[in-house]
Amino acid sequence: MPRNQAFSEPEYSAEYSADYSVSLPSDPDHGVGRNHEVSVRNSGSCLCLPRFMRLTFAPESLENLYQTYFRRQRYETLLVLVVFAALFDCYIIIMCAVVYTDDKLPSVLVASVGLIAHILIFVLCRFGLLPDRISRKFVPYTLWILIAGQIFCYLGLNFAHFHEASDTVGWQAFFVFSFFITLPLRLTPIVLISSVSCGIHTLVLGVTIAQQQQDSINGIALVRQLISNISMYLCAITVGIMSYYMADRKHRKAFLEARQSLEVKLNLEEQSQQQERLLLSILPKHIADEMLKDMKRDQKQKELQQFNTMYMYRHENVSILFADIVGFTQLSSSCSAQELVKLLNELFARFDKLAAKYHQLRIKILGDCYYCICGLPDYREDHAVCSILMGLAMVEAISYVREKTKTDVDMRVGVHTGTVLGGVLGQKRWQYDVWSTDVTVANKMEAGGIPGRVHISQSTYECLKAEFEVEPGEGETRNEYLREKGIKTYLVLVPKPQLTKNGINGVKLSLTSSHGNSPLLINTKEQNGSINTTCTTPDEGEELDTRVVNPSFPNPRRRLRLRDLAERVIDAQQNEQELHKLLNEALLERESVQALKGKYTHRLSMRFLNPEMETRFSVEKEKQSGAAFTCSCVVLFFTAIIEILIDPILIANYVTFVIGEVLLLILTLCSLAAIFPRVFPKKLVAFSTWIDRTRWARNTWAMSAIFILTMADIVDMLSCLQIYAASSQNMTRVPSLHSEGCTENPVYYSYISVLALIATIMLVQVSHMVKITLMLMITGATGVVDIYAWSHIFDEYDKARFKEYVSSLVPSKYTMTSMIFVMMMSFYYFARHVEKLARTLFLWKIDVHNQKEKVYEMRRWNEALVTNMLPEHVARHFLGSKKRDEELYSQSYDEIGVMFASIPNFSDFYTEESINNGGIECLRFLNEIISDFDALLDEAQFRCITKIKTIGSTYMAASGVTPDANMNGYNIKKEDMSDKDRWQHLADLADFALAMKVTLMNINYQSFNNFMLRIGLNKGGVLAGVIGARKPHYDIWGNTVNVASRMESTGVMGNIQVVEDTYLILKEYGFRFVRRGHIYVKGKGELLTFFLKGREKQGSFINSSSVTLPHQVVDNS
């Protein structure tokens, strides 16, 4: 599985550059995940945009998926266009009904039919009553045809005998712009249908007017008006293209964030699964749940605890199985250490499969001893039967090993039924274990058993209910403990029908050997710190479902089924199309959730109910604000062109254009400075950044731009009013319809207000409340001028145009004001929709951020738990990858230190009386002792020491097995180090042993107890490794470990015993010793040993609890 890049927000620093790539993140370091790079290139099918604005994703399949997503997003805005068209129909009906005449009936009928059609389309689309293919492909074009037909019908029926070049131009420009912001089509089709609509509209007007006014036509004036129309259309199309581009950028960003969200969710689930696998490989589920719950508790609550947390539970009526490999010494002498570990790895992996098959919970592996329990944590009535079947299967499995290896190995199995206390002790290297008198009995049942047989106690026999035939076991004759306790034992007779060649019930064991056809271990003998991994390739046995529900990550309602996705995405790594399919599912799931419900926002203002969330949204940086202000400049530019074409001699048109454009350019440059910080001075960049992040400043900036546009229009209208007043007083000319000037074409100034509304709707990072305020300002100012200041101008215009028919029409000053008001309401509806979308995208972005935080948090929990079960460098190997059961992790060390430290008199302290809560309080005290020992490992001096495990009340640790630059680790070659530097870790291990004695002495002082440590130390080479990837168990093997264990078991309480080789090294570090003499060690014969007493230097650890033996001789050499 590939390593992952660090998490990062998708950066769009090249917001206006055309070529950038986004690397979608996964969990960093050793987390799981996937890394797919998505490029956004400056090429695309839309030739309507400049090259630097053409964006497309690579690969092409991703771009196609994005286009599908984009059309779905715009599909909701299609309903906005339907509302626009319905409002247009209502406007026509109202205008005809106010001053109704019979010749207006066709217009009312057409508008009514159009309104009904639009309502029908709205209902069908809103509730998904149309097939998806029809609604996606045909509805947009149908709606375009309906709107175009409505405009032409209005043009033909309402102005049948009074056509002018300005007729319905405002509505045409309004709907052209609306096509760009609402239609769920690519940009090219929208530009084409808009151009066709405008072209036909201009052509129809020009031809119609030329035919109707053949005798009195003013060709120059008509051309200027048509060019003004075209300018208005060009303005609407230009701003529309910019709006489409801005929406495309925003949706591409949201699309990438959705893709990131999917990967984050998959990573989260996969990490959760890894956590479960690693936890449940060593800990039962109920213990793991308790640990996760405890890890999430507040640290202050933990500090208030009187005792360290202990995860311990009492379980009754369980069967305990101990199994030991007989002849293991002979087997180990016939193969190398690496081959031995490899064999144990395969054998115990099969035992784990058998344990799952027979409902056993593997407790621990101790060298060549395997023990498990049935009936824990969930009670089973057949726990004894399952344990017997497990034992028989293990015996059969070892017989297969005996046959293949040609060695005299066998299994000795003992089973006892009773009560256990199960849990973990200490704060580091958690391993599940069980304690009780019945566990001791089960251990003695194995020790007093017979190779190749399953030895059971009387209590187990009573639970079998005669399901197996047995014979007397006579275990008391082979084990003194069984004889003292008077325990009657039995041997199970093997049921012949269950015997198969490959094992009980067909569980097959695959053996590999370095002399066979299997892959060899690679370079297994190396210097300290060299890592070796080997994976054999036998056929997998049946895979058992070990998945459980993660208590820390519930599956929410209406969310993706993450486990299914996590499993499916394995194939998606090689199949990009499958990943895109998963992404499409994620997008559909996201779109199906209504993000902005009442519980999130106010219904009217749409502000978040959570003030903190609203503040975060208000400071959200929007890098498209510069483009929005650019639109204002474009609108003012086309406004000036229209005004100059209508009245070229009006000086105010030129003055307002120059002043307004300069002011708008200043606003635009200040907005762009934050986007291109390298181009502009630092102070300007800082000022621009402050505007972007300050809501009131941002609103003021936007209001200033629209105010400039509005004032430019109002000033020009008032300047025109002065000319009209002067001409009326002097009677120098009589206004004529076909003469040139602003007074003869007043409707164009109302159309210019439509362009100002369009500029307002283009503002970004401005709330809909601010937009409606600005649009009300535009509508109000224009309406006041039209109705009051320009009242005479419009009256003269109506008289000159409509003549005697003027009494049956609504005056133009009211129709223009009503038109602007209807467009304002339409744009306000769209502004609410845009803000809803922006807030929804913001919530999705927050959700992605929270998902990433969960990933980080899960990784921290994961690391904390895993490093408490496996050494950190071993955990890095296993975390983030899926291992086969037969995969072996091994690491060879030449020079390490091993320590065993036991509390022999703890067994006298342990009782299962009711006053001790059945033994739990005794184990709580042991937990405090082991936790204090674990706390010593956090000190800098002991950083090179690794806790291996605890066995009952015995504490096992090793030094020099962690890669450390200051020790004999990866960065320093052993030959470049002096002997003293090479063995510094052994001296630290000796100091650790002395510190343990002092710690226990302090505990004794505080609790009025007299516990004593018996410690054995040794140095030499070992093989460290992990047995089983499904249930990883880290341990170390070798003669060094065996001797260290014998040094502890043959030692004396209160003393640290070492052999001569260790003594020769440690005395160079200033440690004091006394010579014990030669003692007999099983398997080693007579060995000269020494007791480590302390350090020579003042202030070192004082061994005040040592037991002085009569034959001790102080060694002064």
Catalytic residues, which ones? 324-325, 368
8 A C-beta contact, residue 624 and residue 250: yes
Q: Tokens 């002792």 belong to which residue?
A: 929
Q: Tokens 């045809």 belong to which residue?
A: 145
User: Dmax of the chain from CA atoms?
Assistant: 141
Helix 625-646 vs helix 219-282: crossing angle, to nearest 10 = 170
Q: Could you report how far apart the first and last alpha carbons of the chain are, in Å?
A: 57
8 A C-beta contact, residue 71 and residue 136: yes
8 A C-beta contact, residue 291 and residue 865: yes
Helix (H) or strand (E) segment spanning residue 225: helix 219-282
Alpha-carbon distance of 97 to 109, in angstroms, equals 12
Alpha-carbon distance of 884 to 1015, in angstroms, equals 37
Q: Which residues contact 523 (CB under 8 A, 6 or more apart)?
A: 530, 532
Alpha-carbon distance of 988 to 882, in angstroms, equals 36
Question: What's the DSSP call for residue 601?
Answer: B
Alpha-carbon distance of 1114 to 1076, in angstroms, equals 9
Cα-Cα-Cα-Cα dihedral sign, residues 223, 224, 225, 226 = positive
Enumerate the β-bridge partners of residue 324. Answer: 369, 412
Q: How many CB atoms lie within 10 A of CB 792?
A: 15
What token pair was written down for 240? 């529309």
Alpha-carbon distance of 242 to 236, in angstroms, equals 10
Alpha-carbon distance of 279 to 291, in angstroms, equals 10
Burial class (CB in 10 A: 0-12, 13-18, 19+), 858: buried
Task: Give the 3-state secondary structure of 534-577.
Answer: EECCCCCCCCCCCCCCCCCCCCCCCCCCHHHHHHHHHHHCCCHH
What token pair was written down for 15? 């917001």
Helix (H) or strand (E) segment spanning residue 410: strand 410-424
| Preceding omega of 377 cis (within 30 degrees of 0) | yes
HSE toward the beta carbon, residue 17, CA cutoff 13 A: 9
Alpha-carbon distance of 608 to 611, in angstroms, equals 7
Burial class (CB in 10 A: 0-12, 13-18, 19+), 752: buried
Tell me the residue length of the chain: 1117
> From residue 92, how far is each of 86, 610, 725 by CA, in Å?
10, 43, 33
3-state SS, residue 372? strand
Q: What share of the chain is helix, strand, coil (3-state, %, to 5)?
A: 55, 15, 30
> From residue 919, how far is each of 420, 562, 679, 902, 907 by CA, in Å?
10, 43, 75, 19, 11
